[in-house]
Structure 1
Amino acid sequence: MATQRMIVTLTVNLQGSVIENSVGPETEDTLFGKKSYGKYLAHPGTDRILAMLDRLGVKATFFVPGREALDDPDLVRRIAAKGHEIAAHGYAHEAYDGKPEEAALLRQTHEILKSFAGTAPLGWRAPVGLLAPETLTALQQLGYLYDSSNQDDDLPYSLAADGAPNMVELPQNEMLFDETHYSRRATHTRLLAWWREEFHAMHAERCFATITVSPRSDYGSGRASRIAVLERFLAEVGGYEDVALMTCAEAARLHYSTIQHE
Protein backbone atom coordinates (compact mmCIF):
# COMPACT_ATOMS: atom_id res chain seq x y z
CA MET A 1 0.00 0.00 0.00
CA ALA A 2 1.80 3.10 -1.22
CA THR A 3 0.99 5.55 1.53
CA GLN A 4 2.98 7.31 4.26
CA ARG A 5 0.34 6.38 6.81
CA MET A 6 0.38 3.10 8.65
CA ILE A 7 -3.00 1.40 8.29
CA VAL A 8 -4.26 -0.55 11.30
CA THR A 9 -7.44 -2.60 11.57
CA LEU A 10 -9.01 -4.05 14.71
CA THR A 11 -10.80 -7.32 14.01
CA VAL A 12 -12.98 -9.29 16.40
CA ASN A 13 -13.51 -13.01 15.81
CA LEU A 14 -17.01 -13.69 17.13
CA GLN A 15 -16.51 -17.42 17.68
CA GLY A 16 -18.52 -18.48 20.69
CA SER A 17 -20.30 -21.80 21.03
CA VAL A 18 -19.28 -22.86 17.51
CA ILE A 19 -15.85 -23.63 18.98
CA GLU A 20 -17.23 -26.00 21.61
CA ASN A 21 -19.69 -27.55 19.16
CA SER A 22 -16.91 -28.25 16.65
CA VAL A 23 -15.20 -30.54 19.18
CA GLY A 24 -18.09 -33.00 19.25
CA PRO A 25 -21.78 -33.40 18.39
CA GLU A 26 -24.39 -31.48 20.34
CA THR A 27 -26.56 -33.85 22.40
CA GLU A 28 -29.20 -33.49 25.07
CA ASP A 29 -26.92 -34.99 27.71
CA THR A 30 -24.12 -32.47 27.12
CA LEU A 31 -22.59 -31.29 30.37
CA PHE A 32 -23.89 -27.89 31.46
CA GLY A 33 -20.51 -26.14 31.50
CA LYS A 34 -19.36 -27.31 28.08
CA LYS A 35 -20.17 -24.05 26.29
CA SER A 36 -19.47 -21.64 29.12
CA TYR A 37 -16.40 -20.03 27.53
CA GLY A 38 -18.27 -19.46 24.29
CA LYS A 39 -21.45 -18.24 25.97
CA TYR A 40 -19.40 -15.53 27.68
CA LEU A 41 -18.78 -14.05 24.23
CA ALA A 42 -22.13 -12.31 23.87
CA HIS A 43 -22.77 -11.18 27.42
CA PRO A 44 -20.62 -9.64 28.77
CA GLY A 45 -17.65 -10.20 26.43
CA THR A 46 -18.86 -8.38 23.32
CA ASP A 47 -20.66 -5.76 25.42
CA ARG A 48 -17.33 -4.78 26.98
CA ILE A 49 -15.62 -4.58 23.59
CA LEU A 50 -18.42 -2.41 22.18
CA ALA A 51 -18.28 -0.07 25.18
CA MET A 52 -14.51 0.22 24.83
CA LEU A 53 -14.80 1.04 21.12
CA ASP A 54 -17.37 3.72 21.96
CA ARG A 55 -14.95 5.30 24.44
CA LEU A 56 -12.13 5.31 21.91
CA GLY A 57 -14.25 6.31 18.92
CA VAL A 58 -12.90 3.35 16.93
CA LYS A 59 -14.79 1.26 14.37
CA ALA A 60 -13.88 -2.43 14.17
CA THR A 61 -14.59 -5.36 11.87
CA PHE A 62 -16.47 -8.26 13.47
CA PHE A 63 -16.00 -11.62 11.75
CA VAL A 64 -19.17 -13.59 12.49
CA PRO A 65 -19.93 -17.29 11.83
CA GLY A 66 -23.38 -17.88 10.37
CA ARG A 67 -24.34 -20.23 13.21
CA GLU A 68 -23.47 -17.61 15.85
CA ALA A 69 -25.63 -15.07 14.02
CA LEU A 70 -28.59 -17.46 13.97
CA ASP A 71 -28.17 -18.17 17.68
CA ASP A 72 -28.04 -14.47 18.62
CA PRO A 73 -29.31 -12.23 15.79
CA ASP A 74 -29.81 -9.29 18.15
CA LEU A 75 -26.09 -9.27 18.90
CA VAL A 76 -25.29 -8.87 15.20
CA ARG A 77 -27.88 -6.12 14.89
CA ARG A 78 -26.43 -4.24 17.87
CA ILE A 79 -22.91 -4.41 16.48
CA ALA A 80 -24.02 -3.20 13.05
CA ALA A 81 -26.17 -0.43 14.58
CA LYS A 82 -23.04 1.03 16.17
CA GLY A 83 -21.42 1.40 12.76
CA HIS A 84 -19.03 -1.54 12.96
CA GLU A 85 -18.42 -3.77 9.96
CA ILE A 86 -19.95 -7.26 9.88
CA ALA A 87 -17.84 -9.75 7.90
CA ALA A 88 -18.21 -13.51 7.35
CA HIS A 89 -16.32 -16.17 9.29
CA GLY A 90 -17.65 -19.43 7.92
CA TYR A 91 -20.79 -21.10 9.17
CA ALA A 92 -19.82 -23.32 12.13
CA HIS A 93 -16.01 -23.41 12.37
CA GLU A 94 -15.52 -25.76 9.42
CA ALA A 95 -12.47 -26.05 7.15
CA TYR A 96 -12.69 -24.73 3.58
CA ASP A 97 -10.67 -26.98 1.30
CA GLY A 98 -12.61 -26.87 -1.96
CA LYS A 99 -15.39 -29.33 -1.11
CA PRO A 100 -18.36 -29.31 -3.55
CA GLU A 101 -20.80 -28.16 -0.85
CA GLU A 102 -18.65 -25.15 0.03
CA ALA A 103 -20.31 -22.65 -2.31
CA ALA A 104 -23.76 -23.32 -0.84
CA LEU A 105 -22.43 -22.93 2.70
CA LEU A 106 -20.76 -19.63 1.82
CA ARG A 107 -23.97 -18.34 0.28
CA GLN A 108 -26.01 -19.46 3.29
CA THR A 109 -23.76 -17.55 5.71
CA HIS A 110 -23.72 -14.57 3.36
CA GLU A 111 -27.52 -14.34 3.36
CA ILE A 112 -27.77 -14.84 7.13
CA LEU A 113 -25.40 -11.96 7.87
CA LYS A 114 -27.01 -9.75 5.24
CA SER A 115 -30.44 -10.26 6.77
CA PHE A 116 -29.34 -9.37 10.31
CA ALA A 117 -26.78 -6.63 9.58
CA GLY A 118 -28.84 -4.90 6.90
CA THR A 119 -25.99 -4.91 4.38
CA ALA A 120 -24.15 -7.69 2.61
CA PRO A 121 -20.75 -8.62 4.05
CA LEU A 122 -17.73 -7.58 1.97
CA GLY A 123 -15.07 -9.54 3.82
CA TRP A 124 -14.37 -13.12 4.81
CA ARG A 125 -11.97 -14.94 7.13
CA ALA A 126 -11.39 -18.69 7.11
CA PRO A 127 -12.55 -20.23 10.42
CA VAL A 128 -9.45 -22.41 10.83
CA GLY A 129 -7.13 -20.59 8.44
CA LEU A 130 -7.73 -22.95 5.51
CA LEU A 131 -9.14 -22.01 2.12
CA ALA A 132 -8.83 -23.20 -1.46
CA PRO A 133 -8.90 -21.42 -4.84
CA GLU A 134 -12.50 -22.61 -5.17
CA THR A 135 -13.29 -20.76 -1.95
CA LEU A 136 -12.04 -17.46 -3.34
CA THR A 137 -13.89 -18.00 -6.62
CA ALA A 138 -17.17 -18.54 -4.76
CA LEU A 139 -16.55 -15.49 -2.55
CA GLN A 140 -15.83 -13.27 -5.55
CA GLN A 141 -19.06 -14.42 -7.21
CA LEU A 142 -20.91 -13.32 -4.07
CA GLY A 143 -19.38 -9.86 -4.35
CA TYR A 144 -16.72 -10.06 -1.64
CA LEU A 145 -14.05 -7.37 -1.65
CA TYR A 146 -11.41 -8.96 0.56
CA ASP A 147 -10.17 -12.00 2.44
CA SER A 148 -8.30 -11.80 5.75
CA SER A 149 -7.11 -15.35 6.40
CA ASN A 150 -3.44 -15.45 5.44
CA GLN A 151 -0.24 -14.43 7.20
CA ASP A 152 2.08 -14.33 4.20
CA ASP A 153 2.86 -10.62 3.80
CA ASP A 154 3.21 -7.33 5.66
CA LEU A 155 1.04 -5.40 3.18
CA PRO A 156 -2.30 -5.97 1.43
CA TYR A 157 -2.05 -7.58 -2.01
CA SER A 158 -4.25 -8.59 -4.92
CA LEU A 159 -5.67 -12.11 -5.04
CA ALA A 160 -5.64 -12.15 -8.85
CA ALA A 161 -2.93 -14.82 -8.90
CA ASP A 162 -5.20 -17.00 -6.74
CA GLY A 163 -8.18 -16.70 -9.07
CA ALA A 164 -9.93 -13.70 -7.50
CA PRO A 165 -8.84 -10.57 -9.43
CA ASN A 166 -11.47 -8.39 -7.75
CA MET A 167 -10.40 -9.28 -4.22
CA VAL A 168 -7.56 -8.17 -1.96
CA GLU A 169 -5.85 -10.04 0.86
CA LEU A 170 -5.56 -8.21 4.18
CA PRO A 171 -2.92 -10.32 5.94
CA GLN A 172 -2.99 -11.09 9.63
CA ASN A 173 -0.13 -11.27 12.13
CA GLU A 174 -0.29 -13.99 14.78
CA MET A 175 1.79 -11.89 17.18
CA LEU A 176 -1.09 -9.39 17.29
CA PHE A 177 -3.70 -12.03 18.27
CA ASP A 178 -4.85 -12.08 21.88
CA GLU A 179 -5.34 -15.86 21.58
CA THR A 180 -1.65 -16.39 20.80
CA HIS A 181 -0.67 -15.09 24.22
CA TYR A 182 -3.65 -15.75 26.49
CA SER A 183 -3.87 -19.40 25.38
CA ARG A 184 -0.36 -19.75 26.82
CA ARG A 185 -1.47 -18.01 30.03
CA ALA A 186 0.63 -14.91 29.38
CA THR A 187 0.26 -12.15 31.95
CA HIS A 188 -1.32 -8.84 31.00
CA THR A 189 2.05 -7.13 31.34
CA ARG A 190 3.76 -9.60 29.03
CA LEU A 191 1.03 -9.45 26.40
CA LEU A 192 1.17 -5.66 26.33
CA ALA A 193 4.96 -5.78 26.00
CA TRP A 194 4.72 -8.26 23.09
CA TRP A 195 2.13 -6.16 21.30
CA ARG A 196 4.14 -2.98 21.77
CA GLU A 197 7.33 -4.58 20.50
CA GLU A 198 5.60 -5.98 17.43
CA PHE A 199 3.72 -2.78 16.66
CA HIS A 200 6.76 -0.53 17.01
CA ALA A 201 8.75 -2.74 14.62
CA MET A 202 5.89 -2.75 12.09
CA HIS A 203 5.42 1.00 12.45
CA ALA A 204 9.08 1.62 11.62
CA GLU A 205 8.51 -0.05 8.23
CA ARG A 206 4.93 1.21 7.75
CA CYS A 207 3.56 -2.32 7.59
CA PHE A 208 -0.15 -3.05 7.48
CA ALA A 209 -1.30 -4.26 10.91
CA THR A 210 -4.33 -6.33 11.85
CA ILE A 211 -5.04 -6.66 15.56
CA THR A 212 -7.23 -9.72 16.16
CA VAL A 213 -9.13 -10.31 19.39
CA SER A 214 -12.00 -12.40 20.72
CA PRO A 215 -14.65 -11.66 23.38
CA ARG A 216 -14.33 -15.21 24.77
CA SER A 217 -13.45 -15.70 28.43
CA ASP A 218 -10.72 -18.32 28.01
CA TYR A 219 -8.23 -17.02 25.44
CA GLY A 220 -10.02 -13.80 24.51
CA SER A 221 -10.16 -10.21 25.73
CA GLY A 222 -13.72 -10.21 27.05
CA ARG A 223 -12.90 -10.14 30.75
CA ALA A 224 -12.71 -6.80 32.55
CA SER A 225 -8.96 -6.85 33.21
CA ARG A 226 -8.17 -7.88 29.63
CA ILE A 227 -10.38 -5.17 28.14
CA ALA A 228 -8.29 -2.66 30.07
CA VAL A 229 -5.12 -4.01 28.41
CA LEU A 230 -6.66 -3.86 24.93
CA GLU A 231 -7.99 -0.34 25.49
CA ARG A 232 -4.60 0.87 26.68
CA PHE A 233 -2.87 -0.60 23.62
CA LEU A 234 -5.40 0.80 21.15
CA ALA A 235 -5.15 4.23 22.75
CA GLU A 236 -1.39 4.13 22.25
CA VAL A 237 -1.75 3.01 18.63
CA GLY A 238 -4.31 5.72 17.93
CA GLY A 239 -1.98 8.31 19.42
CA TYR A 240 0.42 8.10 16.47
CA GLU A 241 -0.21 10.96 14.04
CA ASP A 242 0.72 8.80 11.06
CA VAL A 243 -1.47 5.83 12.03
CA ALA A 244 -5.01 5.42 10.67
CA LEU A 245 -7.38 2.99 12.41
CA MET A 246 -10.09 1.78 10.02
CA THR A 247 -12.32 -1.16 9.19
CA CYS A 248 -11.14 -3.92 6.89
CA ALA A 249 -13.54 -2.82 4.14
CA GLU A 250 -12.10 0.70 4.31
CA ALA A 251 -8.56 -0.68 4.13
CA ALA A 252 -9.42 -2.85 1.12
CA ARG A 253 -11.00 0.08 -0.71
CA LEU A 254 -7.96 2.22 0.09
CA HIS A 255 -5.69 -0.43 -1.40
CA TYR A 256 -7.64 -0.41 -4.67
CA SER A 257 -7.84 3.38 -4.89
CA THR A 258 -4.10 3.66 -4.25
CA ILE A 259 -3.03 1.24 -6.99
CA GLN A 260 -5.46 2.85 -9.45
CA HIS A 261 -3.68 6.19 -9.02
CA GLU A 262 -0.14 4.82 -9.30
Structure 2
Amino acid sequence: MGNLKWPEGKKCAVMFTFDVDGDTTWENGNRGLPNGEKYIKSLSVGQYGPKRCVDRILDMLESYGVKATFFVPGLTAERYPEVIMRIAEAGHEIGHHGYAHERFAGKTTEEQIEIIEKTQRIFKDLIGHEVTGFRTPSGDWAKITPQLLYERGFRYSSSMRGDDRPYRTVINGEKTDFIEIPTKWEVDDYVAMAYNMYPAEPAGQDRISSYRLVEDNFMREFRGHYKEGLCISYMSHPQVIGSPGRIQILKHMLEQITSKEDVWVATGTEVSDWYRSHSEEQEEK
Protein backbone atom coordinates (compact mmCIF):
# COMPACT_ATOMS: atom_id res chain seq x y z
CA MET A 1 0.00 0.00 0.00
CA GLY A 2 1.53 3.28 -1.10
CA ASN A 3 1.43 6.36 1.10
CA LEU A 4 -1.25 8.95 0.44
CA LYS A 5 -0.18 12.36 -0.80
CA TRP A 6 -0.52 15.29 1.57
CA PRO A 7 0.15 19.05 1.12
CA GLU A 8 3.74 20.16 0.61
CA GLY A 9 4.94 16.57 0.58
CA LYS A 10 3.92 15.93 4.19
CA LYS A 11 4.07 12.30 5.24
CA CYS A 12 0.77 11.98 7.11
CA ALA A 13 -2.22 13.96 8.35
CA VAL A 14 -3.40 14.46 11.94
CA MET A 15 -6.71 15.90 13.13
CA PHE A 16 -7.29 16.90 16.73
CA THR A 17 -11.03 16.87 17.38
CA PHE A 18 -13.05 17.56 20.52
CA ASP A 19 -16.69 16.63 21.11
CA VAL A 20 -18.11 19.35 23.36
CA ASP A 21 -21.03 17.26 24.60
CA GLY A 22 -21.53 19.16 27.85
CA ASP A 23 -24.27 17.64 29.98
CA THR A 24 -26.23 16.17 27.05
CA THR A 25 -24.78 12.64 27.27
CA TRP A 26 -25.46 12.37 30.99
CA GLU A 27 -28.99 13.72 30.57
CA ASN A 28 -29.63 11.03 27.99
CA GLY A 29 -28.19 8.36 30.26
CA ASN A 30 -30.11 9.53 33.30
CA ARG A 31 -33.43 9.07 31.50
CA GLY A 32 -32.95 5.31 31.71
CA LEU A 33 -32.64 5.34 35.51
CA PRO A 34 -35.36 5.53 38.17
CA ASN A 35 -35.65 9.19 39.22
CA GLY A 36 -32.78 9.90 36.83
CA GLU A 37 -34.09 13.35 36.02
CA LYS A 38 -33.21 14.33 39.60
CA TYR A 39 -29.57 13.29 39.37
CA ILE A 40 -27.36 16.35 39.56
CA LYS A 41 -23.89 14.88 40.09
CA SER A 42 -23.78 13.07 36.76
CA LEU A 43 -24.79 16.24 34.92
CA SER A 44 -21.95 18.09 36.61
CA VAL A 45 -19.47 15.69 34.99
CA GLY A 46 -20.52 16.95 31.56
CA GLN A 47 -20.83 20.56 32.68
CA TYR A 48 -17.20 20.44 33.77
CA GLY A 49 -16.20 20.33 30.10
CA PRO A 50 -17.48 23.72 28.92
CA LYS A 51 -17.11 25.35 32.34
CA ARG A 52 -13.44 24.56 32.92
CA CYS A 53 -11.87 22.27 30.37
CA VAL A 54 -12.48 23.96 27.02
CA ASP A 55 -10.39 26.99 27.98
CA ARG A 56 -7.60 24.74 29.20
CA ILE A 57 -7.63 22.95 25.84
CA LEU A 58 -7.72 26.22 23.90
CA ASP A 59 -4.66 27.45 25.78
CA MET A 60 -2.81 24.22 25.06
CA LEU A 61 -3.66 24.29 21.36
CA GLU A 62 -2.54 27.90 21.12
CA SER A 63 0.78 27.02 22.75
CA TYR A 64 1.53 24.64 19.88
CA GLY A 65 -0.06 26.64 17.08
CA VAL A 66 -2.65 23.97 16.32
CA LYS A 67 -6.13 24.54 14.94
CA ALA A 68 -8.64 21.85 15.86
CA THR A 69 -12.22 20.86 15.11
CA PHE A 70 -14.82 21.05 17.89
CA PHE A 71 -18.01 19.06 17.28
CA VAL A 72 -20.84 20.66 19.26
CA PRO A 73 -24.45 19.60 19.90
CA GLY A 74 -26.90 22.43 19.31
CA LEU A 75 -28.15 22.20 22.90
CA THR A 76 -24.62 22.69 24.21
CA ALA A 77 -24.26 25.76 22.00
CA GLU A 78 -27.51 27.14 23.43
CA ARG A 79 -26.42 26.54 27.01
CA TYR A 80 -22.82 27.75 26.66
CA PRO A 81 -22.84 30.28 23.80
CA GLU A 82 -19.89 32.26 25.16
CA VAL A 83 -17.76 29.09 25.22
CA ILE A 84 -18.58 28.22 21.63
CA MET A 85 -17.86 31.79 20.61
CA ARG A 86 -14.42 31.59 22.23
CA ILE A 87 -13.67 28.43 20.28
CA ALA A 88 -14.67 30.05 16.98
CA GLU A 89 -12.91 33.33 17.73
CA ALA A 90 -9.69 31.43 18.41
CA GLY A 91 -9.80 30.20 14.80
CA HIS A 92 -10.92 26.65 15.42
CA GLU A 93 -13.56 24.89 13.37
CA ILE A 94 -17.05 24.20 14.73
CA GLY A 95 -18.75 21.00 13.58
CA HIS A 96 -22.28 19.62 13.93
CA HIS A 97 -22.91 16.97 16.60
CA GLY A 98 -26.67 16.66 16.62
CA TYR A 99 -28.92 18.74 18.84
CA ALA A 100 -29.12 16.85 22.15
CA HIS A 101 -26.49 14.19 21.34
CA GLU A 102 -29.29 11.92 20.15
CA ARG A 103 -28.68 8.77 18.13
CA PHE A 104 -29.64 9.27 14.50
CA ALA A 105 -30.07 5.52 14.09
CA GLY A 106 -33.75 4.81 14.63
CA LYS A 107 -34.86 8.37 13.93
CA THR A 108 -37.27 9.01 11.08
CA THR A 109 -36.11 11.02 8.10
CA GLU A 110 -38.23 13.94 9.27
CA GLU A 111 -36.78 13.79 12.78
CA GLN A 112 -33.23 13.77 11.44
CA ILE A 113 -33.90 16.76 9.19
CA GLU A 114 -35.32 18.69 12.13
CA ILE A 115 -32.24 17.90 14.26
CA ILE A 116 -29.84 18.87 11.48
CA GLU A 117 -31.59 22.10 10.53
CA LYS A 118 -32.39 23.19 14.09
CA THR A 119 -28.73 23.01 15.08
CA GLN A 120 -27.65 24.77 11.91
CA ARG A 121 -29.93 27.67 12.80
CA ILE A 122 -28.34 27.85 16.23
CA PHE A 123 -24.84 27.99 14.74
CA LYS A 124 -25.83 30.62 12.20
CA ASP A 125 -27.23 32.84 14.93
CA LEU A 126 -24.23 32.26 17.19
CA ILE A 127 -21.15 32.24 14.95
CA GLY A 128 -22.63 33.80 11.82
CA HIS A 129 -22.68 30.79 9.51
CA GLU A 130 -23.83 27.21 9.19
CA VAL A 131 -21.20 24.50 9.57
CA THR A 132 -20.16 21.90 6.99
CA GLY A 133 -18.62 19.14 9.12
CA PHE A 134 -20.55 16.49 11.03
CA ARG A 135 -19.89 13.82 13.63
CA THR A 136 -22.75 11.50 14.46
CA PRO A 137 -23.55 11.45 18.18
CA SER A 138 -23.12 8.17 20.03
CA GLY A 139 -21.38 6.52 17.13
CA ASP A 140 -24.07 5.62 14.59
CA TRP A 141 -26.43 7.08 12.07
CA ALA A 142 -29.32 5.94 9.90
CA LYS A 143 -28.69 4.72 6.38
CA ILE A 144 -30.15 7.90 4.89
CA THR A 145 -28.22 10.31 7.16
CA PRO A 146 -25.26 10.95 4.77
CA GLN A 147 -27.70 11.85 2.00
CA LEU A 148 -29.60 14.24 4.26
CA LEU A 149 -26.35 15.93 5.26
CA TYR A 150 -24.97 16.14 1.74
CA GLU A 151 -28.22 17.61 0.39
CA ARG A 152 -27.95 20.34 3.05
CA GLY A 153 -24.46 21.47 2.16
CA PHE A 154 -22.32 19.37 4.48
CA ARG A 155 -18.90 18.64 3.04
CA TYR A 156 -17.55 15.96 5.31
CA SER A 157 -18.15 13.66 8.25
CA SER A 158 -15.81 12.16 10.85
CA SER A 159 -18.09 9.41 12.14
CA MET A 160 -17.23 6.01 10.73
CA ARG A 161 -14.54 3.50 11.75
CA GLY A 162 -13.87 1.34 8.70
CA ASP A 163 -10.73 2.93 7.27
CA ASP A 164 -7.64 4.91 8.21
CA ARG A 165 -7.80 7.13 5.13
CA PRO A 166 -10.39 9.66 3.99
CA TYR A 167 -12.80 8.45 1.32
CA ARG A 168 -15.74 9.59 -0.77
CA THR A 169 -19.06 8.52 0.73
CA VAL A 170 -21.22 6.36 -1.51
CA ILE A 171 -24.80 7.69 -1.62
CA ASN A 172 -27.44 5.91 -3.72
CA GLY A 173 -24.74 3.81 -5.34
CA GLU A 174 -22.49 6.69 -6.41
CA LYS A 175 -19.32 8.17 -4.93
CA THR A 176 -19.93 11.76 -3.87
CA ASP A 177 -18.06 14.85 -2.75
CA PHE A 178 -19.17 14.11 0.83
CA ILE A 179 -15.87 13.02 2.40
CA GLU A 180 -15.62 10.67 5.36
CA ILE A 181 -12.61 11.07 7.66
CA PRO A 182 -12.76 7.97 9.85
CA THR A 183 -11.77 7.94 13.48
CA LYS A 184 -11.21 4.99 15.85
CA TRP A 185 -12.26 3.84 19.30
CA GLU A 186 -8.55 3.34 19.98
CA VAL A 187 -7.93 7.10 19.85
CA ASP A 188 -11.10 8.09 21.74
CA ASP A 189 -10.35 9.43 25.23
CA TYR A 190 -13.92 8.70 26.34
CA VAL A 191 -13.55 4.98 25.71
CA ALA A 192 -10.25 4.98 27.60
CA MET A 193 -10.91 7.29 30.54
CA ALA A 194 -14.52 8.40 31.02
CA TYR A 195 -15.85 7.39 34.45
CA ASN A 196 -19.10 8.15 36.24
CA MET A 197 -21.44 6.53 38.73
CA TYR A 198 -24.93 7.60 37.60
CA PRO A 199 -25.36 6.32 34.96
CA ALA A 200 -22.49 3.85 35.21
CA GLU A 201 -19.68 4.56 32.73
CA PRO A 202 -18.15 2.08 32.13
CA ALA A 203 -21.02 -0.27 32.90
CA GLY A 204 -18.84 -2.54 35.05
CA GLN A 205 -17.20 0.32 36.99
CA ASP A 206 -13.86 -1.47 36.74
CA ARG A 207 -11.68 1.03 34.92
CA ILE A 208 -9.91 4.28 35.46
CA SER A 209 -7.14 3.87 32.91
CA SER A 210 -3.50 4.73 33.53
CA TYR A 211 -2.83 8.07 31.88
CA ARG A 212 0.65 6.91 30.93
CA LEU A 213 -0.68 3.83 29.15
CA VAL A 214 -3.44 5.79 27.38
CA GLU A 215 -0.86 8.26 26.08
CA ASP A 216 1.32 5.36 24.98
CA ASN A 217 -1.60 3.81 23.07
CA PHE A 218 -2.44 7.11 21.39
CA MET A 219 1.16 7.70 20.34
CA ARG A 220 1.60 4.15 19.06
CA GLU A 221 -1.39 4.73 16.81
CA PHE A 222 0.19 7.96 15.59
CA ARG A 223 3.49 6.23 14.83
CA GLY A 224 1.68 3.52 12.87
CA HIS A 225 -0.31 6.06 10.86
CA TYR A 226 2.85 8.10 10.30
CA LYS A 227 4.77 5.08 9.05
CA GLU A 228 2.07 4.24 6.51
CA GLY A 229 1.33 7.85 5.52
CA LEU A 230 -2.30 7.82 6.66
CA CYS A 231 -4.71 10.20 8.41
CA ILE A 232 -5.41 9.91 12.15
CA SER A 233 -8.36 11.68 13.73
CA TYR A 234 -8.05 11.91 17.52
CA MET A 235 -11.46 12.07 19.20
CA SER A 236 -11.41 13.76 22.59
CA HIS A 237 -13.95 15.25 24.99
CA PRO A 238 -13.24 18.31 27.14
CA GLN A 239 -14.73 16.74 30.27
CA VAL A 240 -12.22 13.87 29.88
CA ILE A 241 -8.98 15.14 28.33
CA GLY A 242 -9.31 18.61 29.86
CA SER A 243 -8.69 17.83 33.52
CA PRO A 244 -5.44 19.16 35.06
CA GLY A 245 -3.88 15.70 34.98
CA ARG A 246 -5.15 14.39 31.67
CA ILE A 247 -4.39 17.59 29.78
CA GLN A 248 -0.77 16.48 30.09
CA ILE A 249 -1.57 13.64 27.70
CA LEU A 250 -2.66 16.20 25.11
CA LYS A 251 0.40 18.34 25.85
CA HIS A 252 2.82 15.49 25.28
CA MET A 253 1.04 14.43 22.09
CA LEU A 254 1.08 17.96 20.69
CA GLU A 255 4.72 18.31 21.62
CA GLN A 256 5.77 15.14 19.83
CA ILE A 257 3.51 15.40 16.80
CA THR A 258 4.12 19.07 16.01
CA SER A 259 7.88 18.55 16.34
CA LYS A 260 7.81 16.54 13.11
CA GLU A 261 8.07 18.88 10.16
CA ASP A 262 6.60 16.31 7.76
CA VAL A 263 3.28 15.95 9.62
CA TRP A 264 0.26 17.95 8.46
CA VAL A 265 -1.93 18.94 11.43
CA ALA A 266 -5.24 20.16 10.02
CA THR A 267 -8.94 20.68 10.65
CA GLY A 268 -11.66 18.47 9.21
CA THR A 269 -12.47 20.99 6.50
CA GLU A 270 -8.82 21.25 5.48
CA VAL A 271 -8.40 17.48 5.27
CA SER A 272 -11.65 16.92 3.38
CA ASP A 273 -11.03 19.79 0.93
CA TRP A 274 -7.54 18.49 0.19
CA TYR A 275 -8.72 14.94 -0.33
CA ARG A 276 -11.65 16.00 -2.48
CA SER A 277 -9.43 18.00 -4.82
CA HIS A 278 -6.79 15.26 -5.02
CA SER A 279 -9.07 12.22 -4.88
CA GLU A 280 -8.10 10.66 -8.21
CA GLU A 281 -4.41 10.43 -7.36
CA GLN A 282 -5.24 9.33 -3.81
CA GLU A 283 -7.57 6.54 -4.88
CA GLU A 284 -4.89 5.08 -7.13
CA LYS A 285 -2.96 4.20 -3.95
What TM-score results when the alignment is normalised by the length of structure 1? 0.92
CA distance in 1, matches of 2:79, 2:126: 12
Q: In the alignment, does 2:108 pair up with 1:99?
A: yes
Question: Among residues 6, 29, 46, which one is paired with 1:23 in the alignment?
Answer: 29
Distance in 1, Cα, partners of 2:211 & 2:36: 38
SS in 2 for 1:48: helix
Decide whether the 8 Å contact of 1:12 with 1:215 is kept in 2: yes
Matched, 1:246 2:263: no
- Indicate how the Cα distance of structure 1 residues 137 and 244 shifts in structure 2: closer, same or farther if over 3 A, else same: same
> Which of 260, 270, 276 is equivalent to 1:256?
276
The one-letter code of the counterpart of 1:188 is Y
Q: Take 2:177 and 2:253, find their aligned partners in 1: how far apart are those partners?
A: 33
The aligned residue for residue 42 of structure 1 is 50
Gaps of 5+ in 1: none
Cα distance, 1:260 vs. partner? 5.7
**Residue pair 1:19, 1:93 contacting (<8 A) in 2 also:** yes
Q: Following TM superposition, by how much is the alpha carbon of 1:199 offset from its aligned partner in structure 2, in angstroms?
A: 1.2
CA distance in structure 2 between the partners assigned to 1:227 and 1:162 by the alignment:
42
Q: How far 1:162 moved relative to its partner?
A: 5.7
What amino acid does structure 1 have at the position aligned with 2:245?
A: S
| Structure 2 unmatched ranges of 5 or more | 195-206
Rounded to whole Å, the distance in 2 between the matches of 1:203 and 1:221 is 23
Whole-Å Cα distance in 2 between the matches of residues 113 and 260 of structure 1? Answer: 33
Partner of 1:230: 250
- Report if the CA contact (8 A) 2:24-2:101 is conserved: yes
User: Percent of aligned pairs with the same residue?
Assistant: 30
Q: What residue in structure 2 maps to residue 188 of structure 1? A: 211
Give 2:69's match in structure 1, choosing from 36, 61, 74.
Answer: 61
Distance (whole Å) between structure 2 residues aligned to residue 99 and residue 254 of structure 1? 33
TM-score (norm 2): 0.85
Task: Pick one of 81, 84, 88 that aligns with 1:76.
Answer: 84
The answer on whether the counterparts of 1:160 and 1:166 sit within 8 Å (CA) in structure 2 is no
Residues 96 and 29 of structure 1: CA distance in aligned 2, closer, same or farther (over 3 Å): closer
Match of 2:13 in 1: 7
Q: Deviations over 1:36-84 (max 9, x none)?
A: 1011011211110011111111000000001101111111111100000
Q: 1-side partners of 2:58 and 2:184: how far apart?
A: 23
1:208 maps to 2:211:
no
Partner of 2:199: none
Q: What RMSD over aligned residues (CA atoms) do the two structures have, in Å?
A: 2.0
Q: Is the 8 A contact 1:133 1:162 kept in 2?
A: no
| SS of 1:189 mapped into structure 2 | helix
Matched pairs, number: 259
**Residues of 1 paired with 2:219 and 2:58: CA distance?**
23
